[in-house]
Amino acid sequence: MGSSRRRGSELEQAILRAAVEELTESGYVGLTMDGVATRAGTNKNAIYRRWPSRATLALAAYRELIGADREPPDTGTLRGDVLELLRGANNHLSAPAVSGIVLGLLAAAADDPDLMAQLRDSIIDAGSGLWLTVLGRAVTRGEISEKALKPRVATVAIALLRNEYVTRGTSSVPDDILIEIIDDVYLPLLRSPR
């Protein structure tokens, strides 16, 4: 009794959990293969048998960390909805060290097109459906033109938030900046003629 050895997906999950913990505690730079192995109670062999490099493991852990999808808010007004969406994204990005993680991953994936493509999908498409839902309702209410559904336009708010993280590097964007983005840029843009 006792000497049970984990195999397959059970071990895989344990490794991923350990990687997520390392990631949230110390960011991408602090995620080491030895560290994950130790924390998962295994060794590097088991990791390298599943992920070819530190970067791919970190990406897998990041996707795990992102976790479950949210539901589109429905506050009754367009402004309330988009503000709620932006706050949600901000909460997500400001979690322990997400912005640092993403930056690290981006830098690591810079010279690996395949990895970059996967990362792109994980970052960009996260929650883009929510925005389209909210904007779509506003269009059918006649509140804004359907031009607003163009991806380039619809994603402006989240792009500006992302930019805020990149350039400011703060751990959380204050609420009044979110409001500024919505009231000074996003809503005027959505409501602009043609």
User: In the complex, which residues of this chain contact DNA (CB under 7 A)?
Assistant: 3-8, 11, 31-35, 41-46, 48-49, 52-55
Partner from a second copy, DNA, none binding residue 67, C-beta < 5-8 Å depending on class: none
Pick the binder of a second copy from 4, 111, 140, 142 (CB under 8 A). 111
DSSP string across 77-139: SHHHHHHHHHHHHHHHHHSTTHHHHHHHHHHHHTT-HHHHHHHHHHHHSTTHHHHHHHHHHHH
Q: Which residues contact 165 (CB under 8 A, 6 or more apart)?
A: 93, 99, 102, 173
If the CB atoms of residues 48 and 88 are measured against DNA, the closer one turns out to be 48
Nearer to DNA, 48 or 179 (CB): 48
CA angle 132, 134, 138 (to 5 degrees): 110
User: CA-CA distance, 119 to 139, in Å (whole number)?
Assistant: 31
Task: Compare residues 41 and 174 and give the one whose CB is closer to DNA.
Answer: 41
Q: Which residues bind a second copy (CB under 8 A)?
A: 27-29, 97, 99-100, 103-104, 106-111, 116, 120, 123-124, 147, 150, 152-153, 156, 159-160, 162-163, 166-169, 180-181, 184-185, 188-189, 191-194
